[in-house]
Structure 1
Amino acid sequence: MPHPIRRCLTGLVCLALSTGLVAETPAMTPGERVDDYLSSARTSAGSAELAAMLEAEPGNDELRLALGFMQFAAAIEHLGQAWYRHGLRSRSDFARMMPFLRLPVPANPEPEPIDYAQARAVLERLVEELDRADRTLAGIDDGDVKLDLYPGRGHLDFNANGSAEEDEALWRILAAVNPRSGLDAETASQFRIGFDAADVHWLRGYCNLLSALLDFYLSHDGKRLFDHTAHLYFSEPDTPHPFLAELETGGGMTSMVLDAVALIHLIDLPVVEPARRERTIERLQTVIEQSRASWRLILEEDDDDHEWVPGPDQTGVIPGAVVSETMVEAWHGFLDEAESILAGETLVPFWRGEREIGINVRRALVESDRFDLILWLQGSGVAPYFEDGPITDPAFWRQLRGAFNGRFLGFALWFN
């Protein structure tokens, strides 16, 4: 094209843009970006791009919330990718019982072997990534921050092939973890959450709750447990006992029973990182703080816009889930009681013997040099932490269950 004509056309385009005759493509909102990244299974790329945008606009709390949400999603995706790489047997009944092994990752036809050090490194990385998401979310100051999200359209690329596959749809993952969720493709595609400032504290609480569980486990040496039971979870465990995997495959019910007995017997874990025990307490206290902050904002809200956790005067996005004032009041009572127990100010009752005596849970978590499940259940394992003092009232816990119509645990996992 001759230069004069090209210059003329360029000038006309610039004139049209400046006068509004040709509209510029509107920029995507942070919420639309999150949906786009999730729907195309690009959580890691999305986290990196949002981090770069936030660096250019450090005062943009919408971007900060989008980044924190994506970092949380990426942490879960990376966990699933690690388990896929090492052949997690996600359909195993044993895997389904374990919190961080319940992810429904697809079967890997060519898994890499995994030993205890590698499995531990996977969980250590998860803690680091959850902490990163928490730090990002902690920087949000805008009380009106909000993202409109459609998480049901998202995917997590568990097999790390770079594509969003049907069995990696987020709603399918959630339905596999919770079969009673009632989710299907149609309802999931329209599932919208108005993720607001109260939910920022909710997500921070969940980051710390998951990390508390991880820190408690990582504070112990689980190598002996892994070496004798990893075949229950992974198809290619690298342990001193390879025959266990062969027996598990062909030994029938007898092998399963013996494996289950061995699993329980081997939950006798020596403490190797006591600092993580301290962090477990600190994280649980942070969960309580974040829950209080979340509920303070929920009760101050005057809108009703696709609420993830609704107040008594709001409608939640979860069908049939209604929150009453009685529930909110009971929940705050639970937070107070849990905080007192974690501080060692209130004891939990010992379940054996005639003398009424309490257990100092804080001391049991911080001072013990091992976690022996059988001896703790039997009672002798917690004997060093007996104390005289105020004991949490069983009547309080009965009232708490009553306030939630017998479904306190389910609501607690949701309320966080």
Structure 2
Amino acid sequence: MKRNVLIIGAGGVAQVVAHKAAQHNDRLGDLHIASRTVAKAEAIIESVHAKDAMKVPGVFQAHALDAMDTAAVVALIKATGCQIVINVGSPFVNMTVLDACIQTGVAYMDTAIHEDAGKICEAPPWYGNYEWKRREACKAAGVTAILGVGFDPGVVNAYARVAEGLMDSIESIDIVDINAGSHGKWFSTNFDPEINFREFTGTVYSWQNGAWQSNTMFEVGQTFDMPVVGAQKAYLTGHDEVHSLSARYPQADVRFWMGFGDHYINVFTVLKNLGLLSEQPVTTAEGLEVIPLKVVKAVLPDPASLAPDYTGKTCIGDFVKGTKDGKPVEVLIYNVADHKDAYTEVGAQGISYTAGVPPVAAALLIADGIWDVGTMANVEDMDPAPFINLLNDIGLPTRIKEAAGDRLLEF
């Protein structure tokens, strides 16, 4: 049984991870959180204590850490005695943290694919460009590394695996992410603006007809009829889970769709056309070298600041089509989360909540030995039943809509 958890990162998702881990510290043991800015980590711990979230009295310590420094991560893992690392820092640190976990023999997980700060929207398969290159090293070291265990990627990958068990063959997987909430700001992104914009400034890749297809952002859109939030316009978007699901289901079309309002699209388009979303440095008239994308990030609201006034709900799920006994079948497997409920419980908005609860569920399954597989895996490689049952219990219930009706999904 693995115990003691190190959380890397101190943003909105880390806030959720910290609170949910504290709620289960009787099983997870000592808790540690590390960030380049230790004051941010300390503030998260203070918020945990303010809500009296620790299930049992125990350790919860903050640490300063440059997670781009593998040796520093190794040293912190050894100093804290942590056996599980939940990496919810910037995707730029995935590989250094993963390497540290391999060197120390501890379990690793993250919620997004690795990114090179100097590159935008690399050619697929993204996992194949980075994390999957450490697969054999994980296996040799007996290290459990669960990749992309947020909601999307993460829970939606588990939904695809559930659908696999309901069908003889899968023909298409359409993952739809709708945020029908309102944060009350003139313009903001729901998570790190730099990462948010980087997703949408490059080529949109999808897996269709047995090959990678490319489009431009906002080129392909359609309206989806979603539970609770109703009819919503969403656009074909490149996303992490397409890159791993296409490897498991090469015969199926795999697409990711995200909802955007006209206002977001208009602001995004202006920023992009002005060159303000570029990751390449420019020099001002005063001789200062700046990166436009980082300047835009600096002037936008901190996504964590949106939480107190956020209202409305999210709905994220998989429309999966296939065949069963020679007949066509279709299911929608989904979750609905409420922004206000998330803020009341953990002091974060719903987008952070949906991303932060799943890695804690995975940590609990690793701690109990259920998902402690001693190798690298994406979520669709794992048994989804204990994961979904646990999520039902700790704040993210899954529902399934099929021909027989709409019901809570339980195993």
| TM-score (ref. length: structure 1) | 0.23
Indicate the structure with greater helix content. Answer: 1
| TM-score (ref. length: structure 2) | 0.23
Q: Which has the higher contact order (CA 8 A, sep 6+)?
A: 2
Indicate the structure with greater strand content. Answer: 2
